[in-house]
Structure 1
Amino acid sequence: MNRNLFIVLLIVVNIAVDQISKVLVRANFEYGEIKSLIGDKFIMQYVENKGAFLGMGSDMNDSLKLIFLLILPVVVLGYVVYYIITNKDLDRTSLIAFSCIAGGGIANVFDRITRGEVTDFFFINLGGVFKTGIFNFADLSVTTGMVLLLLAGLFNNRKKKSNEASMPS
């Protein structure tokens, strides 16, 4: 498959899954309504987030929100898309990771532009082991992309060190 088409498809799929899930939640939940998916471990609760990750920045004044929640993310996301399209040396894992980050980021910025807030609805509580804030598919895409980037970096560093160690002096 054409590399640029692959990038665009990954970004579009991330945006589409996020936006469709948000439309479904808004259509089928009352605001604040909670539905259990798997006991009290995996829960859906419809909320609107006027801030960024976990509501951070929701209490900023409108000028700061415009800068930090719209303008800056648009610039960064534009650069990420430019970077993955122009950097032909990216390994496949990094390419997928950056595409997930871009798709998730664009989906949440789209919400901020069109709705003034971001729809969130997933919540995970694994007792004392692991607990999240309320999030959405776009957040999941960005987080997955970050984890993939870390793994790609670790794997590429080990591979590089292994190649250097096997080279004759």
Structure 2
Amino acid sequence: MKILKKGIRNVMVITVLLSNIGCDQISKNVARDYINYGEKISVVSSYLTLTKVENSGAFLSLGNTLPNFIKIPLLTIFPSLVLIGMLVFILRKRKMDLNYSLPIAFIIGGGIGNLYDRILYGSVTDFLHMNFQFFQTGIFNMADVSIMVGIFWLLVIQINTKKDKPIESF
């Protein structure tokens, strides 16, 4: 029975992971095909715009000026190893329930989506920008959304976990 539960959980994890990668790659392909570089398309007034940029660095273009001999290990090889390790961990861990494995699958899916771009194109396609006047984002993509949803989900779980109750899922 435990093997069946673990198998169902793993199928759900893989489904969530592949869905996140698929949504990210489809949206990036649409952005590449239909938005000119630097073009601004208003979706919801000035609050949500589409603006295609290529990010050769990491979060908010950090590291985009690094030489390739540093950038490739730092932004491609190391993240690949971390993502593989995270995936193996959640698929093999017997006691990890969906409360933890699904948000981690969101994070891995987003990471793979951006890593795929970096390997295939040498940069990550970003195209979403939000501006709420008092706060605005950098330009991001659906992989970034997946990563942030996964992180936020894990934070909510941790906040809602009673302090006197030990976490036995891991």
Q: Would you say the 8 A contact 2:9–2:97 is kept in 1?
A: no
For residues 57 and 152 of structure 1, the distance between their equivalents in structure 2, rounded to whole angstroms, comes to: 32
Instruction: Give secondary structure in 1 for the equivalent of 2:51.
Output: strand
Q: Gaps (5+ residues) in structure 1?
A: 165-169
Q: Is residue 107 of structure 2 the alignment partner of residue 101 of structure 1?
A: yes
- What does the per-residue CA deviation read over 1:103-130, in whole Å, with 9 as the maximum and x for residues that have no partner? 00001000010000000000011111x2
| RMSD between superposed Cα atoms in Å | 1.4
Instruction: Give secondary structure in 2 for the equivalent of 1:2.
Output: helix
Per the alignment, residue 137 of structure 2 pairs with 132
Per the alignment, residue 87 of structure 1 pairs with 93
Q: Gaps (5+ residues) in structure 2?
A: 1-6
For residues 146 and 138 of structure 1, the distance between their equivalents in structure 2, rounded to whole angstroms, comes to: 12
Question: In structure 2, which of residues 75, 98, 103 is the aligned counterpart of residue 69 of structure 1?
Answer: 75
Runs of 4+ in 1 over 4 A off after TM superposition: none
Within 5 Å, give how 1:1-169 maps onto structure 2: 2-128=8-134, 130-156=135-161, 158=162, 160-161=163-164
Instruction: Give secondary structure in 1 for the equivalent of 2:127.
Output: strand
With structure 1 as the length reference, what TM-score do the two structures score? 0.90
- C-alpha displacement of 1:151: 1.1
Q: How many residues align?
A: 160
For residues 149 and 2 of structure 1, the distance between their equivalents in structure 2, rounded to whole angstroms, comes to: 21
Report sequence identity in percent: 36
Instruction: Give secondary structure in 1 for the equivalent of 2:41.
Output: strand
